[in-house]
Amino acid sequence: MNLRKSWRTIAASVVGVSLLVVASISFAGAQNNTSGNRAASPATAITSSGKVTAKYGGIVDLSKLPTLKAGSQNDSRSLQTRDRMTTDQRAAYRASLASNPRVASSGQPMALPKSANAGPSFVGGGTAPLLVRSVDGLTEAQSCGCVPPDQAIATDLSYVMEGVNNAVAIYRASTGALQFGPYSAQSFFSPVFHAGDFFSDPQMNFDVMHDRWIVTWLEIDSSQTFDYIDIAISTSNSPTQPTPGAQYYIYQLGTNFEPNGGTPSFCDYDTMGTEVYSLDLTCVNFRGSFVGNTMISLYKIPALSGGTLAGFFYNDALKISGGSAPAFRLSPAIEEGVQDAEFFVSTDAGYGGPSQNLGICAFTNLRNFDTVAPTVTCQNVNLGANYTDPLAVRQSGGPNNIDPGLGPKQVYYKGGRLYIAQTTAIGGVHDGIYWAEVQPQLTTQAAHNPQWINGAIITQTGLSFYSDTTDTWMPTIMGTDENDISLVYNYSTTTSFPSIVVTGRKATDAQGGMGQFVGSYFVAVGTHHSTFGRWGDYSACAVTLNSVTRGGIWCAGEYAGADPVWNTRLYNFRTE
């Protein structure tokens, strides 16, 4: 499908945005699966691998930091040559990208008829979420001089914070205009920074339970054999100057979670989640090659006022189906309010496939985190439909096919449901988005107190994709309290450049359908091919909910714009 020929004008409610015709399909056997759990293995109680305490470095004031100058390349050029999946794992993944086809014939999707996928309108009368604002964010030249950007985003009602490798900037939510920064990660974390280190993989969240901004970043030693997780927690509800904020408590966590004598392990592909009591992190650990994964849960309440930030870590508890190896991609959930548990999830991404596995760990008894370790139980769940590792993504005019990354990165828990999305190969010829809405289940307290994970109800599982000559990748999926869903991702073809697309579904739409066939549009149309094959692994969204902006979602996405390396786009849309 030629990008330029595939779009037509939306009605006046979304001026200047274009539609895509999208094929949204559900999987045979996965529709309306609300009759019971789909556990693929018994639940297992996990013992902590050890305690961990972050080093407190003091307070930093963003209002006193120097701003970065465009084109300066700052202090992170070394990231450009860093191939983030190292040695054995990278070689295996590159080999799998070259093999074709790779999707097994069993469990192939079944197309929904178009009439079954025509749902009610979103706010504003459109068939897709209403686009409110779209502005350019940080660029390669403006920030780190590195590849890829690994963008992150957080928002409250007034500000939007964006992070890319080694740079952070703050924008006005009302206009999208740059308000403060950009600042380098090195200056942001100056109280704990080690000379010669560089930064990668920012994660950020506005903690609505406590009105605090939380930012984490990998600080990487120049040898690239060990690193740290730097953590910043705002002292107030303001992300930067002037009053009442600008100040952050700064912490640093060592990441040698799987030690091997004197050889440290290296944390990569980190992700961050939050719930009312805990700050939760994950690491994929390397020691030359992939050696395992780590889940970390920190009791954050004392750290909100500059106190101790400590907790527990758990090695290799999330495993691929059958339990033969640790999962390569895992993420904690971002939660709002007091829930029954904090959930960590993984897929079998990185192991080829096909697979139908979803790994889930539940961290319960978090109310008593200050005196006792959380109760941690894990289980593999059958999603009922196949996914597999993605193929290399195609683009127009590029010297390289794009490496689309693996697995889900950002996971939201909303209204009792986990929302998961990742890139999958389809038919062995192109890439699409595999997504799932899952209701994790806990045991009764009579059976286990604190509660254990007890399978999951697979509410729906589906694919969103276009034609055999089109690739879609790098998804982020979010649900609302009303179980409406938004989905954002990248798009390109052999004749078009990497772009950003938004789509969604109403809770009353046919199960497994996404996009309503005409319910998709571009928020950023690529104008250049990506000059590097490494696209990245992070796509990020953040939500603000109140009576005025209900269902308002901000996202940060990467696309190929005028900058030949990468641009980011910040965009705001409403689902409710």
The Cα–Cα gap between 90 and 531 comes to 20
Q: Over 50: is that where the pLDDT of 174 sits?
A: yes
Least confident window among 236-245, 336-345, 466-475, 510-519: 236-245
Which whole number is the average pLDDT over 243-252? 80
Residue with structure tokens 């080694």?
Answer: 166
Mean pLDDT score across all residues of the chain:
82
Q: Higher confidence at residue 507 or residue 54?
A: 54
> Which phi and psi angles does 381 have, rounded to 5°?
-125, 140
Question: Which residue, 10, 19, 3, is CA-closest to 502?
Answer: 19
Residue 270 contacts residue 280 (beta carbons within 8 Å): no
Residue 520 contacts residue 501 (beta carbons within 8 Å): yes
Q: Higher confidence at residue 248 or residue 143?
A: 248
Q: Higher confidence at residue 266 or residue 530?
A: 266
The Cα–Cα gap between 371 and 514 comes to 45
Q: Mapping DSSP to helix (H, G, I), strand (E, B) and coil, where does residue 134 land? A: strand
Least confident window among 193-202, 365-374, 538-547: 538-547
Least confident window among 64-68, 302-306, 396-400: 396-400
pLDDT band at 16 (very low <50, low <70, confident <90, very high): very low
Which whole number is the average pLDDT over 195-219? 94
DSSP secondary structure of 465-493:
E--TTEEEEEEEEEE-TT--EEEEEEEEE
pLDDT band at 255 (very low <50, low <70, confident <90, very high): very high
Question: Which residue, 556, 565, 532, is CA-closest to 145?
Answer: 565
Residue with structure tokens 């500059």?
Answer: 306
Residue 418 contacts residue 440 (beta carbons within 8 Å): yes
Q: Over 80: is that where the pLDDT of 553 sits?
A: yes
pTM beyond cutoff 0.85? yes
Residue 285 contacts residue 293 (beta carbons within 8 Å): yes
Q: Higher confidence at residue 83 or residue 204?
A: 204
The Cα–Cα gap between 338 and 342 comes to 10
Q: What integer pLDDT is reported at residue 399 of this predicted model?
A: 65
Predicted confidence (pLDDT) per residue in 22-72, tens digit = 554 444 333 334 445 677 789 999 999 999 999 999 999 988 888 887 544
Tell me the percentage of the chain whose pLDDT exceeds 90: 54
Which whole number is the average pLDDT over 490-505? 91
Question: How many residues comprise the chain?
Answer: 576
CA angle, 564 then 566 then 571, to 5°: 130
Q: Mapping DSSP to helix (H, G, I), strand (E, B) and coil, where does residue 303 land? A: helix
- Using CA of residue 38, residue 41, residue 43, residue 45, what is the dihedral sign? negative
Least confident window among 403-407, 412-416, 543-547: 543-547
Cβ neighbours around 400 below 10 Å, total: 15
Least confident window among 84-98, 180-194, 484-498: 84-98
pLDDT band at 223 (very low <50, low <70, confident <90, very high): confident
Burial class from Cβ neighbours inside 10 Å (0-12, 13-18, 19+) for residue 96 reads: buried
185, containing H or E segment: helix 185-188
Predicted confidence (pLDDT) per residue in 451-492, tens digit = 999 999 999 999 888 888 899 999 999 988 888 899 999 999
Provide Rg for the chain, Cα atoms. 22
pLDDT band at 17 (very low <50, low <70, confident <90, very high): very low
- Count CA atoms closer than 13 A to 464's CA, side-chain side: 36
Q: What integer pLDDT is reported at residue 545 of this predicted model?
A: 56
Question: Which residue, 485, 499, 473, 488, is CA-closest to 541?
Answer: 488
Lookup: tokens for 478:
């979010």
Predicted confidence (pLDDT) per residue in 200-209, tens digit = 999 999 998 9
Least confident window among 248-252, 454-458, 526-530: 526-530
Burial class from Cβ neighbours inside 10 Å (0-12, 13-18, 19+) for residue 174 reads: exposed
Q: What integer pLDDT is reported at residue 38 of this predicted model?
A: 74
Tell me the percentage of the chain whose pLDDT exceeds 70: 80
Q: What integer pLDDT is reported at residue 543 of this predicted model?
A: 77
Q: What integer pLDDT is reported at residue 339 of this predicted model?
A: 82
